[in-house]
Amino acid sequence: MNDRLLAGFAVALTLFVAAGPLPAHHAGSIYDRENHITLQGTVREYVFASPHVQIHFETTDATGKTEKWIALSAPPQRLYRAGWNTKTLKAGDHITVTGAPRKDGSKVVNIRRLVGPHGQVLNEGAD
């Protein structure tokens, strides 16, 4: 009985120690929520899948250089309830995205507002 208890304790301790360095989902802390940006671009790919809906799009910077961005939103279940679905956007659609950019400078923005190709406003973001 003592060997079993000791083995159980060892397994529990190992799992506890190993779980410490695993990355956690603290998405809010990686975005600059104080300085929203607005980007206009063309959808290249629309991924309506968990854990977050992704919109891959291209925009042009002030010098005329093309930039590839990813706009992240809430999980598909939440967006579906807000009227989004797999056909809401398609490659080639022109969009305007307003949201919080990543603090590390990568070309990723957390959506707060999106204006679709037909003027529809989609207010939904990831948390």
Q: Give the tens place of pLDDT for each residue, 49-100.
A: 999 999 999 999 989 999 999 999 989 998 888 888 999 999 999 999 999 9
The model carries a pTM of 0.75
* 25-122 homologous superfamily: Nucleic acid-binding proteins (2.40.50.140)
Strand partners for 54 = 47, 72
Query: How far is Cα 25 from Cα 20, in angstroms, rounded to an integer?
Result: 13
In tens, the pLDDT along 11-21 reads: 655 555 555 44
